[in-house]
Structures are given as structure tokens and as C-alpha cells.
Amino acid sequence: NPGNGLFGLPKNIAQQAGLQGLVPELANMMPNMNDLMGDMANPLQDVDINDMLNDNAGGDDNARPKRALMSGIGEGGKPGHIQTSSLSREERRAYDQGWKDNAFNQYLSDRISLHRSLPDARDPTCRLLQYADDLPEASVIITFHNEAWSVLLRSVHSILDRSPEHLIKEIILSDDFSDREHLHGPLEEYMKDLPKVKIVRNKKREGLIRTRLLGYSVATGSVLIFLDSHIECATGWLEPLLDRIKDNPTTSVTPVIDTIDDDTFQFKFSPASSTQVGGFDWSLTFTWHAIPEAERRRRNYKDYVPVRSPTMAGGLFAINKDFFTHIGTYDSGMDIWGGENLEISFRIWMCGGTLETAPCSHVGHIFRKKSPYTWPGNTNVVKKNNVRMAEVWLDEFKVYYYDRINNDLGYYGDVSERKALRRRLQCHDFKWYLLNVYPELFVPGEALASGQIKNIRKPFCLDAKTNYGFKPNPVISYHCHGLGGNQYWMLTKESEIFRDYGCFDYNDEGLLIYPCHKSGGTQSWLHRSDKTIYHPASNRCITLSYDTSRITMEICTGEENQQWEWNKGQHR
């Protein structure tokens, strides 16, 4: 069965195709190489991923896409496309199943080389930098739960293909109790040819935090590099990370995380000039930001210089193994997903380390729009993890998070060991962190008013989502629920009404949530002593229609439908 499984390519095929000894980039640049590989794959023992994955294994071969048409797809990180209208019914089923299983276009991924070439748009200086010969050896730890075959293997190959051999001690695949067949027998079989790859497995579903700890427990390199299981390392990704840690073992470094498109698998290389740093908001959600001016200046406005970051996204970073041990690895009481990224960021900074992003190091990651896997047990794991973090690390500032979850902490287990760790390490307090590491963060204590904004006569509150997608969200009215959430607003000294990074903005389009622009105008509001919320730029007031319960902007009359109360703080 020739199948489509071009890319589980055994070594002998690569040899016959003359690929041995060529750097993958070169091999991939040669035209028709994939055609050649495809043709040669026919008579040989090709690993047919589709046969392993589909229950219609051994189905109609004629119905499969023609290999020649597919060759070279995704090379150079370019977008690929599957013409769904020309798929047979079987193929369409596989295509849909791929999305369902992974929340990305697995069907397309299966048709892209496991060794595909990628763009290199690094700052030109990055190519000129020289690194010591004796950089420390890394243990790469990849945790996975039910990852797609081609995506997992491409992750592994991108590491091996683009790292100096002597710098990779091992790649540890740490399995969080996957139940897909291809991740058992076939995976062990495939990895026999890659002696650096080790597989360890959980005996039950633990979540990514304890699965990383399992990988850590068997790691032997002096530097740990944690990666997600759907990544591609770009040229030169490794040395900038190891270099910083060799320089100072308390420095933890992340690569720039480029986006691999979930649909087209396009590798969107972000240039050094647009490197961003990590932050967070008071719902304890990770956020991205432009590099603050002070940090640009510290780096002499050089885009390739490592940049200090208050937090990390979590999935991709390098850390000295002894330092990771010293600062208390991870909180093993955290389940499934979430919270651990901010927790380790705070801990690194507060307990004597530094967190940086190396603009010369690039790793792509498939960002998905939803989580494809099950979230067993406690449905509120993220809250549980966040509360554990807040209890241990946030000191008096934890109330701002608790405000956002209506002070309902839920069950969060025992954090006494983590508190003892913090005492033992004599870490800085959170106020120190905010002042020294993240002075840009707005602290709600500085707000003039906060909480829900309720109409004086009817129990309706101003309500909006602040996550702006393609279209800005409108401010609407909704029955006050008292849970915080989309009804939590703060009034700043700068006269903004906002939550996280979204501000009330009244303009030609209506009353909408826009990213805060800090320059007054359409985002400037006054909560006056007659309880009206006044918009000087338009000379209008926020008004609740008692008939329709709609929010409009009207000439101020001061009547009850224009009177609002914040549940904390004063009008002025």
C-alpha cells in the first residue's frame, strides 16, 4: 500500500535519495526532492501514518490525494492548502477528524515533510554572533497528551535537524497518558532509530505540570529545555539559549515564539524588531506587550540583545537544571493546564533569577483556538492552580485576583510546602517584583472605583467582553450577577473605564471596548457627583433604556436611567 505516508521516511530511503550529510535546509531547497522521495517510497517500507490513524485503514487508494500534487507543500514555512471540495468522502472524513482530534489541520500536517525547511528572518546580527565551543548540554523535555503523529515527529526532527549534535544530550518525550494507538507501539518503533530520544510515560493523566516533572526526573543534561509537542525549532534556535545560561546559571531564557498557523501550517517568522515581552492581568491571564522604553534603552536599542521579560508564556524555555531544582521545580499540586507559567515566572524573579527572551532564538508553535483534549475531574483547574499561586506568591495583591473570581477560591489543596519553600529561599516579596520587574502593570488599588457598575433603579450592569478579536465588543447591559467577570470595571485617575487592556471607547461606531490608548479623547470618562457617567468628548452620558434595557449615549439629563453606582469607591 503506497499510501500518503511520505514522511515517516526510514533512513535507507533518505540515503537512496542522496539526502545523507546534507543539511535539511539544503535538501529541502532542491526542487522535486519530495517527488523523488515519494516515488522511492513506494516499493519500500514506508510508515503509513494514515493507516495507523484512520479506522478506514487500507481504504480506497485511488481516493487518496496524488502524492505528486502534494509534494513540497509547506516548504520554506509557506502556507499549505487543502482543497476540501475536491476531497472524496473518506478523505473529507479524515480531514474533519483531524481537526476534531487536534484543533488544528492534522490532515494538512500529514502531507508536510517532517524535515521541512523554514524561513530565517532573524536580525542579521544573529548570524554573526559567535558562541563558545563548550556550551552546556541540554535535555529537551517535551510533554504530550494525544499529540498528532506528524506534528510530534516534526517537533522532534526540527530539534535534531537544527541543533549541533553535541549540544543535545537527549530528547525526553514525556507522555501524559495518551490513549491514541500511534503514540505507543509505532512511536517506540520509530524512535529506535533516534538514540537520543527517550520515552517516559505517566500511569494516569496528570496534566502538563506533573508530566514535565516526570521528564525532569530522568533528565541528565545540565540545562533543561521545555517544549510543547507541536513546535518547530528554526535555524540557530539553541545556541542563544544555552549561551545565556552558561553566562549565568540563574538566567532562564525563552525563544521568540513564532506562530505556526493552525490551518495552513504557515510558519510566521516574527522579526527581531517586533519581539514582545510577557505580562499578566489581574485575572492572572498571561499577556503580550511591546518592550517598554526603559528596557529598549538598557539594550541600547539593539534588537538582537536578550530582553528581560516579567513573565513567560510557559511552553518553551531553557533553565539550568540545578537552578530549576533550587527554586523548587514546579508546584506539583497544579493539575492539567494553566497557572504554572506565571508561577515559575514570579518565582524565577523573586528568588534570585532573571527571565529573558533571546531574540535570536526562534521556535514556532501551533496556537490553537480551543483545547482538543479532555479536562478530567475538577472543571476549574485553572482557578485552582491560580489560587495556589496567589496564596503563595502574591501577598496582599492576591485580593485583586480574588475580586475577579468573586472571592470564591474553591478547593485548592495544601500550599504549606510551597510557602515553606518561599521562606527557605528568602525570596523577594511581590511588591518588590511589581516595582522592579513589572512597573508598567496597573494595580487596581490605584483605581478610583472598581467592581460592577449598576444602574441606580434597575438591577442592570454594564457588561462587555474585553478580548478583542476581529471586531470590537460593544458595551451592553445585563442583569447584575455580582460575579465580577464581564461586569468588573475600574475607573482610573486618567479617567479610563477599563478591565485588563480593554477600555470604554465612545466613537462613531458606538460604545465599544478598544485597547486602551492612554490619550484620553474618546476613552475619557467622568463619574460625576450626580452619578452620571459623562463622556466629555461627545458631551453625552451613558444611558440605560428602561424599555429595551439597551445602552445608548444621550444628552445628559441626570435622570435615574443615567445614574450609576460602582460597588467600590467614590464618584467625583
- Residue 91 binds: one of ligand UD2, Mn ion, none (C-beta under 5 to 8 A by kind): none
- Residue 67 binds: one of ligand UD2, Mn ion, none (C-beta under 5 to 8 A by kind): none
- Length of the chain in residues, anyone? 572
Buried b (16+ CB within 10 A) or exposed e, 387-405: bbbbbbbbeebbebbbbbb
CB of 353 to ligand UD2, least distance (A): 18
Stretch that binds ligand UD2, among 314-322, 403-411, 432-440, 469-477 (CB under 6 A): 314-322
At 69, the amino acid letter reads L
Give the residue ranges of DSSP H helices in 299-352.
Answer: 321-326, 340-350
Q: Which of 431, 421, 247 is nearest to 344 (CA)?
A: 421
Q: Which of 371, 416, 539, 570 binds ligand UD2 (CB under 6 A)?
A: 371
Compute the radius of gyration of the chain from its Cα atoms: 26
At 211, the amino acid letter reads T
- Residue 143 binds: one of Mn ion, ligand UD2, none (C-beta under 5 to 8 A by kind): ligand UD2
Q: Which of 10, 19, 71 is nearest to 41 (CA)?
A: 10
CB of 68 to ligand UD2, least distance (A): 33
Please report, as residue ranges, which positions from 149 to 188 form the binding site for ligand UD2 (by CB under 6 A). Answer: 176
Please report, as residue ranges, which positions from 202 to 221 form the binding site for ligand UD2 (by CB under 6 A). Answer: 207-208, 211
Give the residue ranges of DSSP H helices in 103-204.
Answer: 106-109, 124-128, 149-161, 185-191
Residue among 362 and 422 whose Cβ is closer to Mn ion: 362
Please report, as residue ranges, which positions from 33 to 62 form the binding site for ligand UD2 (by CB under 6 A). Answer: none
Q: Which of 275, 341, 522, 532 binds ligand UD2 (CB under 6 A)?
A: 341
At 30, the amino acid letter reads M
Secondary structure (3-state) at 345: helix
Residue among 251 and 254 whose Cβ is closer to Mn ion: 254
Distance CA 380, CA 375 (A): 9
Instruction: Check: CB of residue 427 under 8 Å from CB of residue 343.
Output: no
Sheet holding 551-555, edge to edge: 526-527, 533-535, 540-544, 551-555
At 13, the amino acid letter reads I
At 540, the amino acid letter reads R
Q: Does 110 bind Mn ion (CB under 5 A)?
A: no
- Residue 341 binds: one of Mn ion, ligand UD2, none (C-beta under 5 to 8 A by kind): ligand UD2
Q: Which of 91, 175, 176, 228 binds Mn ion (CB under 5 A)?
A: 228
Give the residue ranges of DSSP H helices in 103-136.
Answer: 106-109, 124-128
CB of 207 to ligand UD2, least distance (A): 4
Residue among 176 and 261 whose Cβ is closer to ligand UD2: 176
- Residue 363 binds: one of ligand UD2, Mn ion, none (C-beta under 5 to 8 A by kind): none
Stretch that binds ligand UD2, among 33-41, 262-270, 338-346, 433-441 (CB under 6 A): 338-346
Interface pattern 132-151 for ligand UD2 (x via CB under 6 A): -----------xxx-x----
Q: Does 337 bind ligand UD2 (CB under 6 A)?
A: yes
Q: Which of 59, 74, 136, 314 binds ligand UD2 (CB under 6 A)?
A: 314
Q: Which of 541, 547, 544 is nearest to 561 (CA)?
A: 544
- Residue 371 binds: one of ligand UD2, Mn ion, none (C-beta under 5 to 8 A by kind): ligand UD2
End-to-end CA distance of the chain: 77
Q: Does 338 bind ligand UD2 (CB under 6 A)?
A: yes
Instruction: Check: CB of residue 446 under 8 Å from CB of residue 493.
Output: yes
Cell (9 digits) for 21: 550529510
Q: How many residues bind to ligand UD2 according to rule CB under 6 A?
A: 22
Residue among 17 and 53 whose Cβ is closer to ligand UD2: 53
Cell (9 digits) for 186: 509505532
Distance CA 54, CA 13 (A): 24
Contact footprint for ligand UD2 (CB under 6 A): 143-145, 147, 176, 207-208, 211, 228-229, 257, 313-316, 336-338, 340-341, 365, 371
Contact footprint for Mn ion (CB under 5 A): 228
